[in-house]
Structure 1
Amino acid sequence: MKRVDARGLSCPEPVIQTKNAMASREAQYEVLVDNVVAKENVSRFAIHQGYQVEVEEQGDDFLLRIKK
C-alpha cells in the first residue's frame, strides 16, 4: 500500500500526487490531506478511477483510504 502525505498542499497538487501514486497499480492507497477542498477533489478523482473511498478525520487532517 502506498501512502501519500499531501498536507500543506493546495489543489491540484494532492490530486496529482494521488494520480502519480496510482501509477503503481496497487489495490490500496492512503492519502493524508489537511483541507476539505483537497479531501473532496482527491475523493472525486479516486471514485472516477473506479476506487472506493473511506474518509477518517484525524484532528485537523483527513485520512482517505482508497481501495478497489
Structure 2
Amino acid sequence: MKDNIIDARGRACPEPVLMTKKAMESYSCVKVLVDNVTARENIKRFAKNNGYKIDILENDEGILLTLSR
C-alpha cells in the first residue's frame, strides 16, 4: 500500500482539503498534518464522504489524520 504525507499546517481552508483530494487520487493511504480544528473537521468530512477510514492523532506537532480505504 502506498502512502503520502501532506503538511498542511498554516494553510487556510479550503487548501488543506484540496491538497488531500489531490493526494487521494494517487494514494490509497494519505496522512495529513494540520494545525487547526476547522481543517481537521473539513478533511474528516471529505474523507468520510469518499469512503475512507479516518484515524486522528493530536499532539504538540499538530493534528495528524490518517485516511485509508
In the other structure, the counterpart of 2:62 is: 61
Task: Give the TM-score, by structure 2 length.
Answer: 0.92
C-alpha separation between the residues in 1 aligned to 2:66 and 2:12? 19
**Structure 2, unaligned runs of 5 or more:** none
Task: Give the TM-score, by structure 1 length.
Answer: 0.93
Offset at residue 12 of structure 1 (A): 0.4
Q: What does residue range 29-40 of structure 1 map to in structure 2 within 5 Å?
A: 29-40=30-41
**Structure 1, unaligned runs of 5 or more:** none
Question: What is the identity, as a one-letter code, of the residue corresponding to 2:54?
Answer: V
Question: What is the identity, as a one-letter code, of the residue corresponding to 1:14?
Answer: P
Question: What is the identity, as a one-letter code, of the residue corresponding to 1:57?
Answer: E
Q: What does residue range 1-68 of structure 1 map to in structure 2 within 5 Å?
A: 1-24=3-26, 26-59=27-60, 61-68=62-69
Runs of 4+ displaced beyond 3 Å = none
C-alpha separation between the residues in 1 aligned to 2:46 and 2:62? 19
RMSD: 0.9
Closer/same/farther in 2, CA of residues 18 and 57 from structure 1, 3 Å limit: same
Percentage of matched positions with identical amino acids? 46
